[in-house]
């Protein structure tokens, strides 16, 4: 087990990668794997292996990995299933540390020959301690090593970040990756577990908890063979890094489908939910919410209590956020007297001046909005801020001015925002605000509020005290 752990570490940070089944033919997956590695800018050595070619993607190709005399750390295998045992034996003998096995057709197929073959290749790598991601996977990506070991070169369009995605479905990994490109969520690793020959959720959790590039782990799960082993592993690392899960296979039809897809029954929804909660895992109910929550954990402070201040440029979005907050365990707290006085200086009686605050009358006025944000941030009843601003033609310059304040103003309480404008208008400002760590932004007030609730839920359950440098209450 320790050997597997060490070899997982090496396979994510290899110096030399062999592509067994590499190809120059775009109709082959071996072509797309080469494209991912080469165009993804992998800085190490790439060894295409294919008995039929001398050169692939402009690189010297080898008949077998044995023809390459130096060390190989990672092999990406994309050849017919029946050839896999022979190649696995070669890899084990050569001392390859890890294999990404893209090929499908093992225990997930109806034919019992699939299960036999599965067992056979498992025995080979287990004996040698070789870590295998797959079979039946699109691969994996380590963004911090510029290693795109998948058949999807487009994953390299994503930016480096702190979120690790571990998924039992290639389709969901692609979905989340493409959504993340739009939401500007940033990953450390994306890992398609596939049918888990010897690297299951438990092994990958154990590895990622030690991975300094990762500060939050998001999981997509259908069904697993050893749920207890997984839960035990998460519990072992409780309080270390947040783990967020989205699990499907909750209905009769999808449970059956999960069995066919992954070779494991999805199992009773309620039992899983209970076990996840006990282990301190945050549960998401859909792909969007999984990504939303991971994005916040990837870069936000964690609220130290349930008290929220809703500061909004318009009343409607504030009401929408209010409903979600109260339904999800957050509290729309009353402000301290000095905070309320400060807010009353900037807003006329016409507006909602108590929490939730409608900053509408100050919507041209970035200094007033900045002062209101600062006052709420310094209020000891407030643990977190929801900042909601819709663009209007009349407040077009607001965000530029507000950004200057927000990026300089170092807060220790989270700001989750819904700042929205027509495409192209405020995009750069929002990206800069997110990059500065000032806030995390979402396209709707409900998503912003739900995400804040997930942050607090995690803290409540896991008692993360953190290093909260309380601000001096400058405004009182």
Chain positions 92 to 111 lying near its own copies, rule: CB under 8 A, are 104-105, 108-111
Residue ranges in 35-54 that form contacts with its own copies under rule CB under 8 A: 35-36
Residue ranges in 280-309 that form contacts with its own copies under rule CB under 8 A: 286-288
Q: Per CB under 8 A, does 405 bind its own copies?
A: no
Q: Per CB under 8 A, does 139 bind its own copies?
A: no
Q: Per CB under 8 A, does 401 bind its own copies?
A: no
Task: Compute how many residues bind its own copies; rule: CB under 8 A.
Answer: 89
Q: Per CB under 8 A, does 468 bind its own copies?
A: no
Q: Per CB under 8 A, does 62 bind its own copies?
A: no
Helix ranges, 95-169 (H)? 112-128
Residue ranges in 145-184 that form contacts with its own copies under rule CB under 8 A: 151-154, 157, 167-175, 177-179, 181-182
User: Reading across the β-sheet that carries 74-77, which strands appear in turn?
Assistant: 45-49, 16-20, 74-77, 98-101, 131-133
Phi/psi region, residue 139 (left: phi>0; alpha: psi -120 to 50; beta: rest), is left
Q: Per CB under 8 A, does 368 bind its own copies?
A: no
Residue closer to its own copies by CB (options 6, 104) is: 104
Pick from 131, 219, 388, 399 the residue near its own copies by CB under 8 A: 388
Structural contact between residues 387 and 374, judged by C-beta atoms closer than 8 angstroms: no
Q: Per CB under 8 A, does 265 bind its own copies?
A: no
Phi/psi region, residue 430 (left: phi>0; alpha: psi -120 to 50; beta: rest), is alpha
Q: Per CB under 8 A, does 258 bind its own copies?
A: yes
Gap between the Cα atoms of 424 and 428, Å rounded: 8
Pick from 115, 265, 319, 476 the residue near its own copies by CB under 8 A: 319
Pick from 393, 465, 469, 474 the residue near its own copies by CB under 8 A: 393
**Which residue is listed with tokens 């082959």?**
28
Non-local CB neighbours of 25 within 8 Å, separated by 6+ positions: 31
Q: What minimum distance in Å lies between the beta carbon of 394 and its own copies? A: 5
Burial of 476: CB neighbours in 10 Å, binned 0-12, 13-18, 19+? middle
Q: What minimum distance in Å lies between the beta carbon of 147 and its own copies? A: 17
Pick from 238, 326, 461, 468 the residue near its own copies by CB under 8 A: 326
DSSP classification of residue 466 = -
Does residue 163 sit in helix, strand or coil? strand
Q: What minimum distance in Å lies between the beta carbon of 337 and its own copies? A: 19
Structural contact between residues 246 and 289, judged by C-beta atoms closer than 8 angstroms: yes
Gap between the Cα atoms of 71 and 65, Å rounded: 10
DSSP classification of residue 371 = H
Q: Per CB under 8 A, does 206 bind its own copies?
A: no
Q: Per CB under 8 A, does 344 bind its own copies?
A: no
Q: What minimum distance in Å lies between the beta carbon of 231 and its own copies? A: 21
Q: Per CB under 8 A, does 194 bind its own copies?
A: no
Tokens coding 317: 């979005």
């Amino acid at each position: 087990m320790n050997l597997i752990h060490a070899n997982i570490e090496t396979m994510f940070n290899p110096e030399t990668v062999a592509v067994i089944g590499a190809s120059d033919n775009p109709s082959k997956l071996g072509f797309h794997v080469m494209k991912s590695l080469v165009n993804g800018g992998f800085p190490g050595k790439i060894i295409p292996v294919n008995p039929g070619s001398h050169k692939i993607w402009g690189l010297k190709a080898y008949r077998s990995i044995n023809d390459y005399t130096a060390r190989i750390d990672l092999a990406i295998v994309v050849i017919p299933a029946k050839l896999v045992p022979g190649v696995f034996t070669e890899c084990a003998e050569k001392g390859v540390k890890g294999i990404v096995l893209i090929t499908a057709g093992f225990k997930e197929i109806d034919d019992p020959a699939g299960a036999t073959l599965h067992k056979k290749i498992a025995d080979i790598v287990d004996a040698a301690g070789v870590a295998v991601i797959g079979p039946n996977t699109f691969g994996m990506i380590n963004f911090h090593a510029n290693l795109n070991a998948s058949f999807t070169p487009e994953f390299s369009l994503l930016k480096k970040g702190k979120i690790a995605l571990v998924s039992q479905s290639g389709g969901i990994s692609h979905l989340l990756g493409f959504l993340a490109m739009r939401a500007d969520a940033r990953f450390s690793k994306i890992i398609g577990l596939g049918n888990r020959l010897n690297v299951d959720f438990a092994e990958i959790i154990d590895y990622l908890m030690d991975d300094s590039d990762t500060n939050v782990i998001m999981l997509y799960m259908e069904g697993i063979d050893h749920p207890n082993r997984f839960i035990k592993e998460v519990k072992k690392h409780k309080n270390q890094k947040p783990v967020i899960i989205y699990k499907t296979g909750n209905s009769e039809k999808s449970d059956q489908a999960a069995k066919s897809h992954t070779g494991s029954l999805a199992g009773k929804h309620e039992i899983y939910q209970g076990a996840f909660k006990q282990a301190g895992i945050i549960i998401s109910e859909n792909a969007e919410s999984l990504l939303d929550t991971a994005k916040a954990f990837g870069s936000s402070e964690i609220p130290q209590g349930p008290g929220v201040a809703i500061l909004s440029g318009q009343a409607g979005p504030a009401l929408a956020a209010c409903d979600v907050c109260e339904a999800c365990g957050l509290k729309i707290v009353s402000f301290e007297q000095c905070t309320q006085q400060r807010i009353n200086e900037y807003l006329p009686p016409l507006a909602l001046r108590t929490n939730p605050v409608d900053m509408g009358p100050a919507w041209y006025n970035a200094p007033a909005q900045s002062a209101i944000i600062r006052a709420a941030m310094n209020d000891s009843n407030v643990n977190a801020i929801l900042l909601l601003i819709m663009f209007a033609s009349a407040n077009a310059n607001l965000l530029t001015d507000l950004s200057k304040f927000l990026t300089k103003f170092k807060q220790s309480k989270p700001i989750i925002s819904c700042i929205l404008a027509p495409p192209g208008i405020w995009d750069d400002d929002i990206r800069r605000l997110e990059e500065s760590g000032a806030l995390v932004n979402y396209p709707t007030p409900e998503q912003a509020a739900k995400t804040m609730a997930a942050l607090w839920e995690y803290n409540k359950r896991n008692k993360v005290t953190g290093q909260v440098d309380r601000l001096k209450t400058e405004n009182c």
